[in-house]
Structure 1
Amino acid sequence: MTTETLRVPLNRPPRHLPRRIVVFATLLFFAVVFAMPLLWMVSASLKPENEVLQTPPTFIPSTYQWVNYSQAGDGLLPFFLNSVKLAALNVGFLLLFASLAGYGFARLNFAFKNLAFALLLSTAMIPSMVYLVPQYMLFREMGWIDTHYPLWIPNVLTPVFGTFLLRQAFRGVPMELEEAAKLDGASTFGTFWRIMLPQVKPALAAVGALTFMGSWNDLFGPLIFLNSTRLQTMPIALALFKGEYFTQTNLMMAAATLTILPPLLLFLLAQKYFVQGITMSGLKG
């Protein structure tokens, strides 16, 4: 019996190495292109005013003006607190209502369930501009104009996207868990709260992150429904930095940098759950 020695070339590159290099270089190029505005914003926030729009542009400031952040931050605290309040209300109540609706559409049997779900999804195709005027007139009759109610109550009572994602997530949970809970005497709400809801934490994190960013970046809602400066949010505060005849661009960029920090930190901390939740929500149709 003879044995043959296998010779493996040590210096031979992997078969797909050139392709991977091209893909990596392409992705790196687009990453740099998309990061350029962000880098310019941070750079401009640290420059003196006369260097922000100079030609040719420079990314590295001649002197780092950290005082720009303290000047831009003066007076931003009320706007920041309003944004935090609205984001917390939107995230908390939307997760509550969307999870209940998603569980109902995924697990409970009732008449015309599929039709009701189709009608719910169809409402997402109606542009918000169509019902803006009737909505404003309704809120005016209810006394909600110049209050925070229009900025969170309609959102949490119509959680179409959140309901869809959480329905898909609940449908991906094995039926055996729910059946075992029922055999142990758990009620429908007890099964939902103690058994099913912990199984879809990644989907909850994804919906919560998307809701937070939507509320935090909302400019149109406060612009339409709020009149008092004390009730305005961070996007409106950024618009106030733009004067009629003169704009301090470096202070505006410093304020913009401060504004994006909360959603950026949230995404970095919840990135794992965000991606996992989006993936999990699409496993079962």
Structure 2
Amino acid sequence: MSATTTNLKSADASASYRLLQWLAAIALTLFGILMLLPFIWMILSTFKPENEVLSIPPTLWPETFTLGNLEKLFVTLNFGVYLRNTLIIVLFSFVGLFFNAMAGFGFAKYKFKGREPLFYMVLATMMIPAQVTMIPVYLILNSMQMTNTMIGIILPALVGAFGIFLFRQFMATIPDELLEATRLDGASEFRTFLQIALPISKPILSVQAILTFIAGWNSFLWPLIIANDENLYTLSVGLALMKSQTNQNFALQMAGATLMVLPIIIIFIIFQRHIIENYTISGMK
């Protein structure tokens, strides 16, 4: 009798637990849809005419589908030039990411005089806000006649202490025996780094690639300060200037915001598996 009662209680508890799981899943799904709704409306508003964007009640799906907003962005508002500049910055940011990985490998696997003090100096630069160094960097670049140039925009952000720190911490866990075996096979130091250390660091490399892409894609303050030529502006700067240029054209602003956000979402979706792997590896260590 007691065993039957225990089984009934266990069945009731299991049913209650499943019911709570279903209720939690439904609540989270509804909450997720509510969170995504403004984002979806922004993307769909890219393909609506201005009067439909301002209509009350608002429509989710475009009643009149148009590509006029995107056409105006690239033909009238010079967004093609802004996109080109942004892609150039992103491209060189990935070159800087490669330099960060090389520096991290050097700090992790090579013993040289002054290695620790030099590494601590690199870490100390993380404590200094970027806004504090903008004026000195601007004056240095101005003395080198690099203001209002693409090189002046790219150079200060080419390498960073945070990236060097992450690569150094990760690559320090690579077994020295594996690197020595590669060297005994006749591989050069650069080949050892390129074919052994870099592939092993794929999880942290993927995370840094996402952060690097986001930082380069969202470049705003520094290009705005150092460049006074509109042909050197980035998408972020162009989007900020759009408000005065388009006289409160919300359909165009939705198109510009979509152009800014979608690539970041796509990059995150592509690399999210590696981010999860990185957190897993970090937890195991």
**Common topology (TM > 0.5):** yes
Deviations 1:77-100 (A, max 9, x none): 2211111111001112x2221111
Distance 1:137 1:279, change over 3 A: farther
Note the aligned Cα RMSD (angstroms).
2.9
- Which of 149, 152, 155 pairs up with 1:150? 152
Q: Does 1:81 align with 2:84?
A: yes
The answer as to whether partners of 1:206 and 1:274 remain within 8 angstroms in 2 is: yes
Q: Which amino acid aligns with 1:87?
A: V
Pick closer, same or farther for the CA change 1:187–1:71 going to 2, 3 Å. closer
Distance 1:125 1:56, change over 3 A: farther
Note the C-alpha offset of 1:270: 2.1
| Deviation of the 1:225 alpha carbon | 0.8
1:154-173 residue CA offsets vs partner (Å, 9 max, x unmatched): 2223x212112212221232
Match of 2:126 in 1: 124
> 2:250 maps to which residue?
249
TM-score under structure 2 length normalisation: 0.83
Match of 2:214 in 1: 213
Q: In structure 2, how many angstroms separate the alpha carbons of the residues matched to 1:124 and 1:279?
A: 26
Aligned-partner residue type, residue 88 of structure 1: L
Residue 162 of structure 2 corresponds to 161
Moved more, 110-119 or 165-174: 110-119
In structure 1, how many angstroms separate the alpha carbons of the residues matched to 2:169 and 2:284? Answer: 7
Q: Following the alignment from structure 1 to structure 2, what is the Cα–Cα distance between the partners of residues 281 and 164? A: 15
What's the CA shift for 1:30?
5.0
Q: CA deviation at 1:65?
A: 3.1
Q: Is the 8 A contact 1:172 1:283 kept in 2?
A: no
Cα distance per residue 1:39-72 (max 9 Å; x no partner): 2322332333234344554434443333322223
Identity of aligned residues (%): 34
Q: Call closer, same or farther: CA 1:214–1:53 in 2, change over 3 Å.
A: same
User: Could you say what secondary structure the match of 1:218 adopts?
Assistant: coil
Instruction: Look up the SS of the partner of 1:190 in the other structure.
Output: helix
Q: Secondary structure at the match of 2:244?
A: coil
Count of aligned positions: 276
**Number of the residue aligned with 1:201:** 202
**Structure 2 letter corresponding to 1:252:** Q
Shift of 1:19: 5.0
Q: Which runs of 5+ in 1 are unaligned?
A: 1-7
Partner of 2:273: 272
Contact in 2 for aligned 1:170/1:200 (Cα 8 Å): yes
Deviation larger for 41-50 or 76-85: 41-50
Structure 1 segment 22-171 matched on structure 2, within 5 A? 23-25=24-26, 27-28=28-29, 31-74=32-75, 75-92=78-95, 94-157=96-159, 159-171=160-172
* Paired residues of 1:80 and 1:233 also in contact (CA < 8 A): yes
TM-score (norm 1): 0.83
Q: In 2, Cα distance between the equivalents of 1:209 and 1:45?
A: 25
Q: Distance in 1 between matches of 2:48 and 2:257?
A: 14
